[in-house]
A and B are shown apart, each in its own frame.
Chain A
Amino acid sequence: MPTTDDVLGTAAPLDLSQLAPLPPVARSSWFGRTRRIGGRFNPITVFWLLIVAILILPIALFLAVAFSPRLLDQGTQWFTLSAFAGAVNSDLLLGMLHSLIIGITTAVISAAIGFALAWVVLRTNAPGRRICTGVVFALLLTPSYLIALGWERLVEPNGVLEVLGYDATWARDVIYGPVGIVVVLTVKGLPFAYLAISNAMRGLGHEFEDAVRVHGGGPIASLRIVLALLAPAVWSALAIVFAESVSDFGVASTLANDAHFPVATYSLYNAVQAFPVNFPVASAVSWVLLVLVILALLAQNRALRGRSYRVLGGRSRQVIRVQLSRGAKIASTVALLVLLVISLGVPTFGAISASLIDGLGSLAGTHQWSLANYQRVIVSPDLSQPLLYSAELAAITATVTLVLAVVCARLLANKGGSVGGRVLDLVLLAAVALPGIVFAAGYIFAYNLPLTNALGIHLYGTTTLLVLAYLATALPSTSRVLVGTMSQIQESMSHASRVHGSGPIRSWLTIVLPVTARPLLSAWLLTYTATLLELPVSQLLAPPGEMPISVGITTALSKYDYGGGTAMEVLAILSALAVVGVGYLLFKLIAPVGWRRIGRSA
């Protein structure tokens, strides 16, 4: 406790005469440096134009064509539902039904495993719980098609297991079908379920369970209370995983396609890739996908309506971890190991082993273990060029996305909630729910219209359009990631900087940037990694003569060059991990100490 002397100070007086005067400011210049309202070029206008061009217009036009083909020169009728009839009268209906069943199954299983995993990690002393967060983030960054391809390489005819002398027929029968698809999509949905539930569980103090116990409830009653309190998170997990599963294209274009198990996203891809292209039907399928996602979100909303779940507060008590018995520890460790093997182990082993087997996929010749596939990838421009091309585009996309996402997040975090902020919120929410394949189809449609060409916009078939589409798919999620960070910045920090003499730019650079540096870096790396390995947009919008890495991998695999394809896959992931590692290392080495302190736990 400081004494009065401490407070008032006994030090020598300040020599205020040493202060230099402010830079000379003539009276007249007070207004010379003031801001005029209106009549100035506003950069926010450019921002909105960009949002309209890359997010709103392509999707709106594409979705409109399902109802009004004539509006955009795709038919003769101003209003018709024939596109929807076309969608439900064909194989598309089966695809949609499959997507619905797969989506529900995956959501339920992912939420259940995610809850159990969060409980084990946060509420018990299970050994190995610390690696779970790392595994979850590895899964979050791994595209679904890579997980699917890993499984495929293992169990396919003449695949790794058969090369190793094992009969993989039974495994193939299981994996090449709905079970395999559910397994892969569950693995891919698990991070979303885990993060949604664990974040809520982390904020749930132990007092609720204590209250149950002191009022006579046992462990089961206690768990039921926790489940009820975590209902918003569980519903969120269900909705997110369902939406992710029905809109997934990676598994649809690999495992589901190879298993001849049609799902909606691949039906949409076929509709857009077919000749002649049937945009109205593709648009109708997109509507169905969109409605499925919206229904999931509405169900979540309805389930929670009118109920208050505000459990996070300054009075929350620290959670006490359950001390597991020896048997329980063994059981939890085995369960975590099984999860690790299924989610990451098998696909990783499948990809790495396949990349090390010479001539895998071919019936002819012996299958030797060697590094020949890697050598081919590195030497052959056909195989190495896609990685360099994607790395370049991913870096550009991540950088531009970060700039735009900061603006979006700032607008969304604005307490007052301006009209612009609310509109942006709605647009980004809709865009998050929109499957990547719908984005790609929308881009093909909007930038291929006669009207677009008449306006002098000739972007179709160019790398620029591909980057714009990457931007459009990355911006909603990156903005959402940064909203939390931007909301946490006390406005008074910037105000303090301004009233103590810094202009808006210096204020941003000296105060906001340092405080947000780590989340900004994470957002850049997340966007870079996701874009590097992105599939649906790359598949549909890759310009002639150029091949992004994801298309390069799937093309090599479609030509039965399993060794080359998986070697590219491994190298792509390694390069992404290297960029992530270098990014964080540079931050650690270069960033000032104060920057690195932010967000670090005590």
Chain B
Amino acid sequence: MTIIERKKVDVGTGVEPVAGAVSAPSGHRVRVRGARKRYGAVEALAGIDLDIEVGKFMVLLGPSGSGKTTLLRGIAGIERFDAGTVHFGDNPISGGQKHAPAERRDLSMVFQDYALWPHLTVEQNVGYALRRRRLDSHTRRKLVNETLERVGLDAKLESYPGELSGGQQQRVALARALVARPALLLFDEPLSNLDADLRERLRVEIATLTRESGATALYITHDQSEAFALADEIGVLRAGLLEQRGTPEDIFRSPATQFVARFTGIAGSFVGRAVGDRDGYFRVRVGDHELSCRAAAGVTPGSLVDLLIRPTASSLGERLGDQPAQIPGTVVDIAFRGRGYEHVIESAYGQLTSVFDTHPWARGSACAIRIDPDGCIAYPQP
């Protein structure tokens, strides 16, 4: 669907969306091929391919320096890739010697540092994004007011950004991004400067409003919980390459590499030797114990493996004699988490953190770690 066609849908249906309803997807289909970018000796992007389907919410997850910001800025038109192409739908946007400037890409962006213009009021900041729509002032004002109402800031129309809290500033930035209903919404770690409580509230707001708008969304973050909560699809980046791409469930349940597994959260890892298949699981010997797990590609019987354990896959029990499927350990620390307790357990094979139990275990007490084979994955040692 081209931009013009998409806008015809907006104007022509005459159906007013209701709060919380999800609009028909009407955004860009984004296609990136072979994107490369180098800053001096540092290769930020090493030839990335990325597809985002119309109306989907894609989250790029990766550590600092993985290239996610560079990729986002290249798609926005703020940066120019050294090589590679970008298409929105069938329209070539960037590639070779040509580069559509940011203002021609029908997108908007929420910045990490909010990027609100300090000399403009909240109303003017949000209204700025409507200039390209060429609306009369009444309509423009109405849309601005409605969008600000939607983010709960209709009482702050005349305020300047400097008079708002961090959370309010980010909501103004969100309203500015949404008001003109762009085809592509870009989010550059928008929650990283906020405290935990506000981050959660705004995350819900972003998820709701973005899906209501029907736009395609690309969101970058280094926070795996944010990624899992928001995404239709997640791409994990590492050193300028897309390490894995899939639904949040795929990424969590079947991380393709050790890096993906570690970056999306593990309680700890043991080193063991692969034994072989049994009862639908793979068996790995860790010291005197044999644990069931799932095996990543490349694990062969007899080989040394790293056994990565998700926090949700570990639980505590009493030590009852020799139980080959349980690892004996000692509680070294405990943290109250509201719904229960997370424990740090020291075992002969390594330390596990975030081991959950509804009851607290005293520091220094002996325990046994039970491991759910579905959340335990063996990878060949590098």
Contacts and interface: CB of A to CB of B under 8 A. Distances in A.
Given A11-B150, A19-B10, A21-B11, A597 B98 contact: no
A500 B108 contact: yes
A432 interface: no
A493 B167 CA distance: 18
- Judged by DSSP, the binding face of B is mixed
B230 interface: no
A492 interface: yes
Contacts of A12: 19, 146, 149
Given A16-B17, A31-B98, A33-B101, A499 B4 contact: no
A530 to B, nearest CB: 28
B104 A33 contact: yes
B113 A595 contact: no
A11 B146 contact: yes
Nearest to B126: A500
B112 to A, nearest CB: 8
A500 B125 CA distance: 10
B63 interface: no
B151 A25 contact: no
A22 B106 contact: yes
A98 interface: no
A36 B101 CA distance: 11
A455 interface: no
A17 interface: yes
Contact of A35 (B90, B99, B120, B177): B99
Contacts, number: 204
Interface stretch (A2-10, A113-121, A274-282, A347-355): A2-10
A27 interface: yes
A213 to B, nearest CB: 34
Contacts of A33: 100-101, 104
B289 interface: no
Interface string A395-430: 000000000000000000000100000000000000
Given A498-B78, A501-B180, A597-B162, A20 B133 contact: yes
Contacts of B121: 594
Contact of A598 (B118, B129, B146): B118
A337 B134 CA distance: 61
Given A34-B98, A498-B103, A597-B160, A7 B11 contact: no
Interface residues of B, number: 83
Nearest to B98: A34
B103 A502 contact: yes
Interface string B67-111: 000000100111000000000001111100111111111111101
Nearest to B150: A9
Given A16-B181, A19-B133, A503 B103 contact: yes
A14 interface: yes
Contact of A8 (B3, B113, B124, B152): B152
Given A35-B98, A490-B115, A16 B152 contact: no
Contacts of B112: 492
B53 interface: no
Contacts of A13: 16-19, 21, 146, 150
Given A11-B149, A12-B146, A495-B111, A500 B176 contact: yes
Contacts of A532: none
B186 interface: yes
A34 B99 contact: yes
Contact of B202 (A7, A20, A497, A503): A7
Contacts of A22: 3-4, 7, 106, 132-133
A545 interface: no
Interface string B138-152: 010011001101111
A598 B135 contact: no
A37 B129 contact: no
A23 interface: yes
Interface string B153-196: 01000001010000100010000110011000010000000000
B117 interface: yes
B14 interface: yes
A597 B104 CA distance: 31
B208 interface: yes
Given A7-B205, A16-B10, A34-B98, A27 B90 contact: yes
Contacts of A594: 118-121, 124, 160
B155 to A, nearest CB: 10
Contacts of B94: 34
10 contacts: A13-B16, A18-B142, A19-B7, A23-B132, A25-B4, A30-B91, A34-B99, A496-B111, A497-B117, A502-B128
Interface of B: 2-4, 7-8, 10-11, 13-19, 21, 23, 39, 73, 76-78, 90-94, 97-109, 111-113, 115-121, 124, 128-129, 131-135, 139, 142-143, 146-147, 149-152, 154, 160, 162, 167, 171, 176-177, 180-181, 186, 201-202, 204-205, 208, 212-213
Given A7-B202, A9-B149, A33-B104, 9 more contacts: A11-B19, A22-B7, A24-B4, A25-B4, A31-B100, A495-B111, A495-B115, A501-B131, A594-B124
Which 10 A/B pairs are nearest by Cβ-Cβ distance? A501-B132, A11-B149, A594-B119, A21-B7, A492-B115, A496-B115, A498-B102, A500-B129, A6-B152, A514-B119
